[in-house]
Structure 1
Amino acid sequence: MHIQKIFFLVLLIIPSLVLSQTNQLDAQGKKHGDWKVYFEGTKNPRFEGRFEHGKEIGEFKFYKKGFYDHPAAIMNFEKNKDSVNVTYYTQKGEPISNGKMVDRKREGKWVYFHQASDSIMMTEQYQEDKLNGLQQTYYKNGKLAEKTTYKGGEKNGTSLIFAENGQITRELNFKAGKLHGKATYFTPEGEKTMEGFYTEGNKSGIWKYYTEGKLVEEKEY
């Protein structure tokens, strides 16, 4: 009987010991140790992870309100680094995208996935949360669909659009987000349909139009 009473008391104490080890503050009032925060008025998790004197460390799981079977995002914080590796997920736990963030801004290479698939849909380069560098988009079969250069969040430089068979259908140039420079258009079979120049988003100069590969019309803009 005495042993049973002791066992019963231990069962009562264990939950309080577990609770006492989470959501704690250090001597300076900073979060320290394991934390688990719930949506207000519920027992549904909002996020969970570990702090070291106010700084996130290791894996953090974040949940979307109403969906708790899988995290909406998982962030991995490295000690003594400002960057964090991030993966976003669908409600079914399938990856949507992953990459790096610095001060909550996307930085470097980001990868996006086709729906219900682990095949890559798009890769992008970021600098301070703005597209900066090469963006490449892919068909589900892995073939390239688009290849465009960005600078400061805007299209800048060459942009190539591909048909699913690999044929270039549009060869364009951009400057500060607007079509600027030579532009050539093709059918998916590789026949040229038109070519000319853009100046700050508008057609300029002489444009040539083709049918079945033969020049049929010229227009001056």
Structure 2
Amino acid sequence: MRYLLALLIFLPSLVFAQTNQTDANGLRQGFWQKKQDNGRLLYEGHFKDDKPVGEWKRYHPGGQVKALIEYKGDTAYTQLFDVWRKKVAEGNYVNQQKEGVWKIYKNEQLTADEEYKLGLKYGKSHKYYDTGEVMEEKEWVNNQEDGDYQIFYKSGEPYMQCKMKLGMRHGLFLVSYENGRQEMVAEYRNNLRHGEWKYFDKEGNLQYTLYYDNGQILNPAVRDSVDNLKMKDLEKNKGSIPDPEKFLQDPSEYMMRDQRQR
């Protein structure tokens, strides 16, 4: 009984002595914890020769798990969670920089993914409809949009296609109806409208053409006439028709709104 009582007295100090320890060379070893100002844990995990190993946990101020990290050498597979314990992202860090494909979630459903190289977006990124189909695909180089940029209908048919160069629209710009016919055939030069902008109806008939020179419209009378007709349609339908100009600013948001209205 005396030995048991002594063990109970000294056990907490023995456990504490095994936490947050460094060796003779000042390297962190074994199990480590750090607490927040409110007394709850900030993080906990193991070190070996001053490097994190195995599973680590980081916490929100309220005590919920914020991140689960599995260390294997220089790679750290990371899962991130919100305060409601729902996963919001997952992917790998290599030498503390994002690497490979990172997945992004909302309400535990995949909403986007992005490719990284040395901490920068490099490769393809996607956004998804709530029902899982690919809505948007972009190509990236060194954290800038560079290459093909596409928006899709839920059917998988292309809605918008354009070329990007150093984060700017540059080259052919196409918009299509869901039946596959082209709605707009246009061109950008260094993010400015340039050349012929042709607009078609759903049957493929040319409706009108606007001409631009490095962002400057050359036939404003035609544009103004078309804008007046569009305004009448918007007023007639009490704003239920999305403004096509907003499509040019943010095509993926335009597409989401269009799908919600169907």
TM over 0.5: yes
Higher helix share: 2
1:168 aligns with 2:168: no
Percent of aligned positions that are identical: 18
Matched, 1:107 2:128: no
How many residues are paired up? 188
Task: State the distance in 2 between where 1:207 and 1:192 align.
Answer: 18
CA distance in structure 2 between the aligned counterparts of 1:186 and 1:67, rounded to whole angstroms: 48
Distance 1:85 1:171 in 2: 33
Give, as a single letter, the amino acid of the residue that structure 2 aligns with 1:62.
L
Q: Look up the match of 1:87.
A: 103
SS in 1 for 2:163: strand
Q: Which runs of 4+ in 1 moved over 3 A?
A: 19-22, 76-79, 205-209
Q: Where does residue 84 of structure 2 map in the other structure?
A: 67
Unaligned residue ranges in structure 1 (runs of 5+): 210-221
Give the superposed CA RMSD: 3.0
- Segments of structure 2 that go 5 or more residues without pairing to the other structure are 19-29, 33-43, 224-262
| Structure 2 CA distance for partners of 1:20 and 1:206, relative to 1, 3 Å | closer
Structure 1 residue 84: Cα displacement: 2.7
Q: Greater relative contact order (Cα 8 A, min sep 6): structure 1 or 2?
A: 1
Q: Distance in 2 between matches of 1:206 and 1:99?
A: 40
Which one of the candidate residues 102, 105, 118 is aligned to 2:132? 118
Which residue number in structure 2 is paired with residue 37 of structure 1?
Answer: 58
Whether the 8 Å contact between 1:182 and 1:196 is mirrored in structure 2 is: yes
**How is 1:177-196 mapped onto 2 (pairs within 5 angstroms)?**
177-196=191-210
Distance 1:95 1:43 in 2: 25
CA shift digits 1:51-85 (9 cap, x unpaired): 246x333x310112x331x3100103579x97232
TM-score between the two structures when normalised by the length of structure 2 = 0.63
